[in-house]
Structure 1
Amino acid sequence: MRSNRTTLTPGIVALAFLGACSVPDRPVQEPRHPHAVLHPAALRPVVIGRAAWHADQAAVRPGLIYDHDVKAVFIHHTDNPNDYDCARDVPGMLLVLEQQHIAAGWDDLGYNFVVDRCGGIYEGRTGSIDRDVRGAHTEGFNADSIGIAALGNFGPGQQVPRAMLRSIAEIAAWKLDPAETPLGHVRLTSSNDGSRFAKGTSVPLNVISGHRDVYETDCPGQALYDALPWIRRTAASLRAKATYADPPRQR
């Protein structure tokens, strides 16, 4: 699968931009109980399904691929204007994204999830809520990963709304395999020479990475890229709160 290089700029009516992000003061401590168990159901955020944004399901091509787990999360931005109205404009913007991606030859909208500036979480690619469906978001590294796109442009000088960052962290905490830690690293193998790395190259990456880490692009924009440590810590904190000590089984 390929990565999204398309810059989308549908006309959007302006509203005020939201506030800036900040960084937690204290480091997150991972749970160390010998019988600690992560309960993913406790992490599931509210996700707006495809029907709510009138996805063109008839245009989705057959043959979507499903992975066994999610080892990594790649963060993107869509390069749209930031002054959209979340309630009024976002459904149409998502439909444009889907139409653009399908016209480019992809099976469906490339991102698994899209987050708006108000913190709304939308199901992008078909089936992403209930299954680990492979997206078309990060060329060479789509397998065993998900793509989360921030709706807007977060290049230098832009501010990333706190609600948006929080929602990105919530998705990552929920969808990552329990064996992976948002603060950790993972080794993935490039499947495509179109990435920064030749096909077959084993690459060490942050479990939560930016698109630019593996592809020649500015995505997800410098402002959002600089916020990735905050997202990792917040996702880890959410997981710690959803991890409980299970008593050992009686023999």
Structure 2
Amino acid sequence: MARTTTLEPPPESTLRTGTPRKHEEIAESLTQDILVGQYRTGERLPSERDLAARFEANRGAVREAMKKLEQLGLASIHQGGARVCAVQDASLDVVSHLLAIGEVPDEDLADEIMQVFTALITLAAEATVRRATDAQIAAIRARLEPLLRGTSNRTANSIARFELMRSIMQTSGNLVCQIIARSLFLQFVPRMAPLESLVELDLDAQRRFAEELDTALAARNVAGVRSAFESMSHFNREVAKRAFAALKAREAAGASPIRSTAP
């Protein structure tokens, strides 16, 4: 006998082609509220009924949103409601939400991410020096050529730096380091792009870093590699500080705000 089924309306998410699904909209809104301090650690979040009314959603969508917050580590769900958790205990995925606040990232957050990325690439570079074959070292040094020559084309410059970092990461063999660094890089760089036009490329400083790194790689000098990336980190962080200072001056002068093109 053929089985019969009851026709049911399609899930709410399928009715919103091209737009965020309702539970994602709710989760994103609550995430932003938590991260900007609207809800304090330990505070109870609004009830399912209140959230359903606020977002004109059904309770199923609200429950899905709460599960998302729990997965992010921003809320703990208990019988009777959900409470906010400390951001420090959240998952790495929260970084993308922190970066999404405002037209450009918070200056302190940007500096912290740059420090973490430098630590990751330095760790990978040290491993590369120790384990890479001569051919692999030669391939990485070849990636330095565009930086040694210098190019004022921002796109070409960014591609050259990305290819250098990716080559070092892949050669290091440290999978965890690669995954974390790539995740941070792909989230961070697009959000910082609006600031690039506010500062000039310092090709001389970049060339000095490339020369220092090339010399260290050729000699398989671990301390030299570490020193080169410390120099690069100091340079990049100073550039970022100048960019944020220029942005503040621009805003103080009443200029139109910079708009991020990041998704």
TM-score range, shorter chain: under 0.3
Which structure shows the bigger proportion of residues in strand conformation?
A: 1
For the pair shown, the structure with the greater C-alpha radius of gyration is 2
**Which has the bigger relative contact order, CA under 8 A and spacing at least 6?**
1
TM norm structure 2? 0.22
Which structure shows the bigger proportion of residues in helix conformation?
A: 2
